[in-house]
């Protein structure tokens, strides 16, 4: 779990889970490259100004040229953690093509392009670690009722993880994912005030699993989509 002198890209690193992941990586010596799209998020990012944090303006993580430019500026690249994504409720009758494509672009396309760029960089570096973020409905699709577009996009992230893990294992690149249930964040508590918040997995708990999968200590695990459900 030591990351000294290792460069890691964390998409979504300014968010609730992402900032916890970045903080844990910094404690272990990593240099974190954190893309952002909304300037206000970068302004209030609690690790802004840290000597081993590089905030990187990005146009769109579902745009190939933008992602390639972002990753091309980081070398040698050890780790790539893909937390950025999107969520939307909606029954299928209320979900048109535009809403479906938005979920696919925010979740699948962004993960695919970041994985692609990461593999190119990690092959040059001699290996590395990739961690994607799926979701519980990706492993238990019936829980995706009322949010089928989201569930399908995260299931695709899980499939991408397993296929890519097999493809790049010979390059010394280990690819895995975590699949959280509802995460215990202030925003989720506010939107679901009557839920059993104590049962939800905490960002720090999920971050611990992500860090192991992204670390040199993980020497053999690949192609896993790890449930991180807490007691929920």
CATH of the domain at 154: 3.40.50.720
Q: Is the pLDDT of residue 137 over 90?
A: yes
pTM, 2 dp: 0.97
Q: Is residue 39 part of a domain?
A: yes
Please give the C-alpha separations between residue 184 and each of 54, 145, 163, in angstroms, as whole numbers. Answer: 27, 21, 30
Q: What is the mean pLDDT of residues 10-26?
A: 97
Q: Which residues are catalytic?
A: 150
Q: Is residue 2 part of a domain?
A: no
Q: What is the mean pLDDT of residues 204-227?
A: 98
Predicted local distance difference test score (pLDDT) of residue 160: 98
Confidence of residue 130 (pLDDT cuts 50, 70, 90): very high
Mean pLDDT, the chain, as a whole number?
97
Q: What is the DSSP letter of 201?
A: P
**How far is residue 187's CA from residue 192's CA, in Å, rounded to a whole number?**
9
Burial class (CB in 10 A: 0-12, 13-18, 19+), 98: exposed
Q: Is residue 185 part of a domain?
A: yes
Structural domain total, the chain: 1
Q: Is residue 92 part of a domain?
A: yes
**How far is residue 19's CA from residue 36's CA, in Å, rounded to a whole number?**
12
Q: Which domain holds residue 24?
A: 7-228
Q: What is the mean pLDDT of residues 175-191?
A: 96
Q: Is the pLDDT of residue 6 over 90?
A: yes
Confidence of residue 220 (pLDDT cuts 50, 70, 90): very high
Q: Is the pLDDT of residue 1 over 90?
A: no
Q: Is residue 160 part of a domain?
A: yes
Q: What angle do CA 54, 56, 58 make, to 5 degrees?
A: 165
Q: Is residue 1 part of a domain?
A: no
Q: Is residue 157 part of a domain?
A: yes
């Amino acid at each position: 779990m030591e990351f000294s002198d290792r460069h890691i890209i964390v998409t979504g690193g300014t968010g609730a889970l992402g900032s916890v992941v970045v903080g844990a990586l910094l404690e272990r010596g990593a240099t974190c490259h954190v893309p952002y799209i909304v300037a206000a998020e970068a302004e209030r990012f609690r690790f802004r100004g840290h000597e081993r944090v590089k905030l990187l303006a990005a146009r769109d993580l579902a745009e190939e040229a933008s992602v390639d430019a972002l990753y091309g500026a980081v070398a040698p690249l050890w780790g790539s953690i893909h937390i950025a994504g999107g969520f939307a409720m909606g029954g299928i009758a209320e979900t048109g093509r535009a809403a479906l494509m938005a979920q696919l672009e925010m979740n699948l396309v962004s993960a695919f392009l970041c994985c692609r760029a990461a593999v190119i960089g990690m092959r040059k570096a001699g290996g590395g670690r990739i961690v994607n973020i799926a979701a519980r409905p990706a492993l238990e699709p019936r829980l995706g009722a009322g949010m089928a577009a989201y569930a399908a996009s995260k299931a695709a992230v899980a499939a991408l993880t397993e296929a890519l893990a097999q493809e790049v294992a010979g390059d010394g690149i280990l690819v895995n994912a975590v699949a959280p249930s509802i995460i215990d964040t202030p925003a989720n508590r506010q939107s679901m005030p009557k839920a059993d918040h104590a049962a939800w997995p905490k960002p720090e708990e999920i971050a611990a699993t992500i860090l192991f999968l992204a670390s040199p200590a993980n020497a053999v695990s690949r192609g896993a989509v790890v449930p991180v459900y807490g007691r929920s």
